[in-house]
Structure 1
Amino acid sequence: MIKTYILDTNVLLHDPLSIHSFAENKVVIPAVVLEEIDTKKRLTDEIGRNAREVGRLLDKLRETGKLHAGVPLENGGRLMVELNHKAADQLEKHGLEKTNDNRILAIALNLKEESDHPESVVLVTKDALLRVKADALYIKAEDFLTDRVAQFDHIYKGYSELYLDSELMDELYEKKSLSIKDAGTGETYPHHFYLFKDPAQPSRSALGMVDERSQRVNLFLGDSDGIWGIRPRNVQQRMAMELLTRKDIPLVTLVGKAGTGKTLLSLACGMFLTEDVQAYKKLLVTRPVVPVGKDIGYLPGEKDEKLRPWMQPIYDNLEFLFNTKKDTELEDILAGMSSVQVEALTYIRGRSIPDQYIIIDEAQNLTKHEVKTIITRVGEGSKIVLMGDPKQIDHPYLDEYTNGLSYVIERMKHVTISGHMKFEKGERSSLAQLAADLL
């Protein structure tokens, strides 16, 4: 049975290619949706870009026929822009005001009443309240879930815990490695870590790291001495430091709750590889400019003065690493170290960044398109670290399923040049850990 999917504005602004996600069914775009998209096309952010992309896609489809009559899609479906129905009658019938959302509901109701199979008419919207109103009118409503990846609680962790027989544990310590088959790991990913435990001796354990090329799990000891005065406080931090300091792993993703040490560890490793080892020419640290809560509006001053409040969390960690107490001391240090650059993510488009250690903080506030734009800026010899907490998203159109950080983790976990670690334990303070767990 062919279904009819009516798309809300937020679906198209979230993913312009969503019109191709409904197989061989009919896709309907109400005229009011085009009006709302038209009001967004002049925006300079991701929403504006998507609005313009929707316009280009529809204009290209217009060449194949009249949109109001319906045009075929490449996947066998059919797209139609709905212009004919009069929404006012249905709105008045149900006591609804003439808002844009209610006009979309009225069109869905009209199409449902005209259909021989009313259950085949589905409203697709990311607006939870509109789905509630649709249920009240007995209209089937769904969220757009096609582009969702794993929920944060089920996201790839980068490590696993396994029991290993005493004989194999002895072999691992003696030969420093085991074959993946002998270790009994099953399907695994490059640079995946294993915390092996001996069932006969609960206190006996070992860490292993997958070597994709040799198809073996190598004994991992880690560096407990720390880097730039920062010592790993738990096993996840030890494993993360290995990923952060390996030049043959140019893409590293880190996730964890607030206070787990993601930013501090990354900065310490970046400073070590840039300043001490000189494996990279420059350390570039950046984060998206997305406010928490109500926006404070325009800020006075030149570019650096405007960016300082947004970049302050990075400066806080740098002050800790350099053991400074005043902003002026840190500024003097950074001025003398031309290899360290703190920049806003806004200015990364169009750049090519070779031989640099790049840290992207708060990456959960990036869309899939923005993440792709950033990673494609990475030049030869560079390393990029994406970190964040998918549970703390400030972007109004993203959630823990659809943000760019989760998207990269799930799509790149099988790639040999990438590594990932999920932090479990907070190290900022006992209060911060309790707040992350309970609030």
Structure 2
Amino acid sequence: MTKIYVLDTNVLLHDPEAVFAFQDNCVVIPIAVVEEIDNQKNRQDEIGDNARCISRIMDTLRARGSLSDGVYTDSGGIIKVELNHQSPNNLPIGLSSEKYDNRILAVAYSLNVENPGLVKLVTKDINLRIKADAMGLEAEDYKNDKVDVATLFSGVKTLQVNAECIDDFYKYSRLSIDNVDFLPNEFAVLTDYTNQSHSMLARYSIKEKCLIPLFYKDLEIWGIRPKNKEQRFAMELLLNADISLVTLSGQSGTGKTLLALAAGLHEVVEEKRYKRLLVTRPVVPLGRDIGYLPGDKDEKLRPWMQPIFDNLEYLCQSDISSRDLVQEFQQRGMLEIEALTYIRGRTLPNQFIICDEAQNLTPHMVKTIITRVGEGSKIIFTGDPQQIDNPYLDISSNGLTYLIDHLKGQEVSGHITLIKGERSKLAELGAMYL
């Protein structure tokens, strides 16, 4: 039988195309949702853009017929705007009908009374799902862009082989392994099953169609040398000009941002392969927002971008005045540190781009950023999917995880999950046990 899906506002602001994601079922949009979308349409960010997008979609559907009666989609489903079923009598005592969330809840509850067992409330708001469950309603998160984290691509295969394979690799600098499928730019840790200390690190080359040695594994750049095998793999991706998109994930202190910045400085300042290092990150506060900040744009951004400046000054610490050197790079146009808000609409050719804290991005935001990348540019996304500050994202629905899953196997992309913390012993303990 046809299911009835009642959509919350946050689902449509997360993915305006969500109205078409339920195949031949009935999608109900409460009028309270339309009101909330209207309240967000003037925002100059992704939420405002999505609000305007869903409004245009609904207006296009309106041309096919009455939204209050229901409009058929190409997949055979029905989309309708629900004007009724919002009576406060449908809410338990203590839930005010003045709140948009509760009005949406009332619609879902009333429809479920009329169509028992066929109604589901779809919302990214955990508390609303809890309230729905308490009222006997089925409720679920929006799952269309969720990724199975248990099978998420790590970028590395670990295999047990015989000693001859490893000896041949060291002798001929190439190795093919039958019955093992490698993705482009995937790495391998091959260990002799008779001697665990007899091992090798390699990368799969789609051009060579075999495993080849790491080229940059022991290179020191800006005072930084890889400290573990995952960092060696990351360095290989960061410095390979044939790989234009790199994703680095891992817990705090594994060196994601530091390695990316060191590689960026190396490629821009020393190798001059790119004309500028552009570093950006989403402006998402940890904890309570501190409100408006005084000063011009650069002064306002400084607190949000301070972790980037800290890493840059650490890399430049061999200089007498590391802060002056960073400022010199900025004045010469070789370094730009920008909030993600200002990336939209730009074209970014011939640049080494780092997007830090990418776990706080939605899949749509990641797509927006990638489509800004021009000819000759390279982009790196770094982040920890375990530390998400966006209230409507989780480990399986954030933009970084989505990107890793959907672009694995592309010849121009590569990914590594960093495992070992290298910031300090205390930082690693905190990341592991707290």
User: TM-score scaled to structure 2, two decimals?
Assistant: 0.94
User: Could you give the per-residue CA deviations for residues 237-261 of structure 1, whole angstroms, max 9, x where no partner exists?
Assistant: 1111111001110111111111111
Match of 1:121 among 119, 122, 135: 119
Q: Which residue of 2 aligns with 1:145?
A: 143
CA gap 1:122/1:82 in 2 versus in 1, 3 angstroms:
same
The answer to which of 127-136 and 7-16 deviates more is: 127-136
Distance 2:291 2:91 in 1: 38
Q: Which residue identity lines up with residue 390 of structure 2 in the other structure?
A: H
Residue in 1 aligned with 2:409? Answer: 414
Q: Which 5+ residue runs of structure 2 have no aligned equivalent? A: none
- 1:286 alignment counterpart: 280
Provide the C-alpha distance between the structure 2 equivalents of 1:344 and 1:82, rounded to a whole number of angstroms.
Answer: 39
Which one-letter code corresponds to 2:90 in the other structure? Answer: Q
In structure 2, what is the equivalent of residue 391 of structure 1? 386
Q: CA–CA distance in 1 between the matches of 2:215 and 2:197? A: 17
Q: Distance in 1 between matches of 2:332 and 2:380?
A: 21
Write out aligned runs for 1:28-427 (5 A): 28-91=28-91, 96-98=95-97, 99-115=99-115, 118-151=116-149, 154-181=151-178, 184-185=179-180, 187-220=181-214, 222-323=216-317, 328-334=323-329, 337-427=332-422
Q: Secondary structure at the match of 1:177?
A: coil
Change (3 A) 1:143 1:346: closer
Q: CA deviation at 1:327?
A: 6.8
One-letter code of the match for 1:126? Answer: K
> In 2, distance between residues paired with 1:156 and 1:379?
27
Structure 1: unaligned runs, 5 residues or longer:
none
Matched to 2:20, the amino acid is H
Summarize deviations over 1:315-345 as a string: whole Å, max 9, x none.
Answer: 1111111115767534554356432222222
Structure 1 residues 146-184: Cα deviation after superposition (integer angstroms, max 9, x where no partner): 111232x64211112110112222222222111242xx4
Q: CA deviation at 1:219?
A: 2.9
CA contact (8 A) 1:361 1:386 kept: yes
**Rounded Cα–Cα distance in structure 2 between residues aligned with 1:71 and 1:415:** 39
- Kindly provide the amino acid, as one letter, of the partner of residue 120 in structure 2: V
TM superposition outliers: structure 1 runs of 4+ over 6 Å:
none
Report the 3-state secondary structure (helix = DSSP H, G, I; strand = E; otherwise coil) of the residue aligned with 1:197.
strand
Contact residue 253 and residue 409 of structure 1 kept, 8 A: yes
Mean alpha-carbon deviation: is it higher for 320-329 or for 161-170? 320-329
Distance 1:62 1:209, change over 3 A: same
Q: CA deviation at 1:372?
A: 1.4
**Deviation for aligned residue 1:86:** 4.8
CA distance in 2, matches of 1:100, 1:275: 53
Q: Which residue identity lines up with residue 233 of structure 1 in the other structure?
A: K
SS in 2 for 1:278: coil
Alpha-carbon separation, structure 2, partners of 1:108 and 1:241: 51
Q: CA deviation at 1:396?
A: 2.6
How many residue pairs match? The answer is 432
Distance, in Å, in 1 between the alignment partners of 2:95 and 2:253 is 47
| SS at 2:117 equivalent | helix
* Matched AA of 1:246: N
Contact kept, 8 Å, 2:72 with 2:79, in 1: the verdict is yes
Percent identity, aligned pairs only? 52
Query: Shift of the alpha carbon at 1:135?
Result: 2.2
Q: How many Å separate the matches in 2 of 1:269 and 1:331? A: 15
- C-alpha distance in 2 between matches for 1:216 and 1:250: 21
Does the 8 Å CA contact 1:319/1:325 hold for their aligned counterparts?
no
Distance 2:45 2:331 in 1: 35
